[in-house]
Structure 1
Amino acid sequence: MNLGILFGGKSYEHEISIVSAITLKDVFKNNLYFVFCDKDKEFYLIENHNMKASYFSSFEYKKSKKLTIKNGGFFIQGMFSKKIPVDVYINLIHGNDGEDGKIASLFEFFDIKFIGAKIEASVLSYSKILTKYLAKMVGVKTLDYQVLKRGDEINLNFPVILKPAELGSSIGISVVKEQSKLAYSLDNSFEYSKNLLVEPFIDGVKEYNLAGFRLKDEIKFSFIEEPNKKEILDFEQKYLNFSGNSKIKKADITQELEQKIQEEFKKIYNFGFDGAIIRCDFFVIDNEVYLNEINANPGSLAYYLFDDFENLVYELAKNLPNTNNIKINYDYLHLISSNK
Structure 2
Amino acid sequence: MAKKLRVGILFGGRSGEHEVSLLSAASILKAIDRKKFDVVPIGITKEGRWLASSDANSLLEGNNGAPSRKLRAGDPEATPGAKLLHEGIPTLLAPVPGPQGPEGKAIDVVFPVLHGTFGEDGTIQGLFELAGIAYVGSGVLGSSAGMDKDAMKRLFAQAGLPIVKHVTILRSEWEASPRKATARIEAALKYPLFVKPANLGSSVGISKAHDRKELGPALDEAAKYDRKLVIEQGVGGKKSPARELEVGVLGNDNPKASVVGEIIPGKEFYDYEAKYLSEGSVPVIPAKITAAEAKQIREMAVAAFLACDLAGLARVDFLMEPDGKRRIYLNEVNTLPGFTQISMYPKLWEATGISYTDLITRLIELGVERHREKNRNVYSRE
In which range does the TM-score fall when normalised by the shorter chain?
0.7 to 0.9
Question: Which amino acid is 2:328 matched to?
Answer: V
Q: Match of 1:194?
A: 227
Match of 1:122 among 129, 135, 143: 143
Question: Which amino acid is 1:317 matched to?
Answer: I
Alignment of 1:186-265 (within 5 A): 186-202=219-235, 203=237, 204-214=241-251, 217=254, 219-229=255-265, 230-241=267-278, 247-250=282-285, 251-265=287-301
| Stretch deviating more after TM superposition (171-180 or 33-42) | 33-42
CA contact (8 A) 1:88 1:112 kept: yes
Q: Match of 2:201?
A: 168
Match of 2:127 among 76, 84, 106: 106
What is the TM-score of this pair, normalised by structure 2?
0.76
Q: Match of 1:42?
A: 49
Deviation at 1:143, TM superposition (A): 0.4
Q: In structure 1, how many angstroms separate the alpha carbons of the residues matched to 2:253 and 2:198? A: 33
Q: In structure 2, how many angstroms separate the alpha carbons of the residues matched to 1:328 and 1:142? A: 38
Q: In structure 2, how many angstroms separate the alpha carbons of the residues matched to 1:22 and 1:197? A: 33
CA contact (8 A) 1:162 1:197 kept: yes
Alignment of 1:48-127 (within 5 A): 50=57, 53-57=60-64, 59-61=65-67, 66-67=85-86, 68-69=91-92, 70-71=94-95, 73-76=98-101, 82-84=104-106, 86-127=107-148
Deviation at 1:242, TM superposition (A): 6.2
CA contact (8 A) 1:139 1:267 kept: no
Q: In structure 2, how many angstroms separate the alpha carbons of the residues matched to 1:44 and 1:237? A: 31
Alignment of 1:324-335 (within 5 A): 324-325=375-376
Match of 1:313 among 360, 373, 376: 360
Question: Which amino acid is 2:29 matched to?
Answer: K
Q: In structure 2, how many angstroms separate the alpha carbons of the residues matched to 1:137 and 1:5? A: 35
Match of 1:32 among 13, 35, 39: 39
Question: Cα gap change, 1:284/1:6 in structure 2, threshold over 3 Å: closer, same or farther?
Answer: same
Q: In structure 2, how many angstroms separate the alpha carbons of the residues matched to 1:231 and 1:257? A: 24
Question: Which amino acid is 2:347 matched to?
Answer: Y
CA contact (8 A) 1:6 1:35 kept: yes
Q: In structure 2, how many angstroms separate the alpha carbons of the residues matched to 1:330 and 1:305? A: 45
1:252 match: secondary structure = coil
Q: Match of 1:14?
A: 18
Deviation at 1:181, TM superposition (A): 2.4
Q: Match of 1:337?
A: none
| Stretch deviating more after TM superposition (107-116 or 3-12) | 3-12
Deviation at 1:102, TM superposition (A): 0.7
Question: Cα gap change, 1:96/1:49 in structure 2, threshold over 3 Å: closer, same or farther?
Answer: closer
Q: In structure 2, how many angstroms separate the alpha carbons of the residues matched to 1:216 and 1:329? A: 25
| Stretch deviating more after TM superposition (93-102 or 10-19) | 10-19
- After superposition, what is the alpha-carbon deviation per residue over 1:119-165, rounded to whole angstroms, capped at 9, x for unaligned? 11111111110011110122211101011232341122322111111
Deviation at 1:206, TM superposition (A): 0.9
Deviation at 1:247, TM superposition (A): 4.4
Q: Match of 1:334?
A: none
* Pairwise CA RMSD: 2.8
2:374 match: secondary structure = coil
Give identity over the alignment, percent: 26
Match of 2:6 among 2, 5, 23: 2
Gaps of 5+ in 2: 70-76, 78-83
Question: Cα gap change, 1:223/1:327 in structure 2, threshold over 3 Å: closer, same or farther?
Answer: closer
Question: Cα gap change, 1:179/1:275 in structure 2, threshold over 3 Å: closer, same or farther?
Answer: closer
What is the TM-score of this pair, normalised by structure 1?
0.85
2:270 match: secondary structure = coil
Question: Which amino acid is 1:75 matched to?
Answer: Q
Question: Which of the pair is proportionally richer in helix?
Answer: 2
Question: Which amino acid is 1:4 matched to?
Answer: G
Question: Cα gap change, 1:8/1:101 in structure 2, threshold over 3 Å: closer, same or farther?
Answer: same
Deviation at 1:241, TM superposition (A): 3.1
Q: In structure 2, how many angstroms separate the alpha carbons of the residues matched to 1:20 and 1:47? A: 18
- After superposition, what is the alpha-carbon deviation per residue over 1:77-109, rounded to whole angstroms, capped at 9, x for unaligned? 7xxx7134x322212111111111111111111
Question: Which amino acid is 2:346 matched to?
Answer: Y
